[in-house]
Amino acid sequence: MKEYKTFIPYCIDSKIIEEQSDYSLVTLNIEFFGIQTSFTTKNVIKKNESIEMDLIEGPFEKFKSSWRLQEVDQQTTNLSFVMNYQMRNKILEMAFKNNLKSVSEAIVRAFKSKLD
């Protein structure tokens, strides 16, 4: 998570607030089309299965996302990402919503390339 800024699009910094065996609290600082903001999530981790992210604080009215890993065989794993959100800042929400597909695809590609 400390390395997010080196490979996740739009992430300019990340900080682990707390780390336990089954969850972590992480703050991400992002810049999206010239707008900088940060948010903190609780990430519940099931090793080699999933990561569930729930909002602690940030520009979202609500935010929940999940990463799912499904092993196909010893050399192949399917990775899926689902995100549900509503932002407080309507300008940021419009910019994000208009580019959601490309942003999501870029984030998934970044994680896949990191796993390879």
Spatial CB neighbours of 72, under 8 Å, sequence gap ≥ 6: 78
- In this prediction, residue 8 carries a pLDDT of 82
Q: Yes or no: say if 53 and 63 are a contact pair by the CB < 8 Å rule.
A: yes
Domain-by-domain residue ranges, the chain? Answer: 4-115
Name the phi and psi angles at 112, rounded to 5.
Answer: -60, -45
Segments in the chain below pLDDT 70:
1, 115-116
* Single-letter amino acid code for the residue at 110: A
- In this prediction, residue 105 carries a pLDDT of 83
Q: Which CATH superfamily is domain 4-115 in?
A: START domain (3.30.530.20)
Spatial CB neighbours of 5, under 8 Å, sequence gap ≥ 6: 11, 12, 13, 14
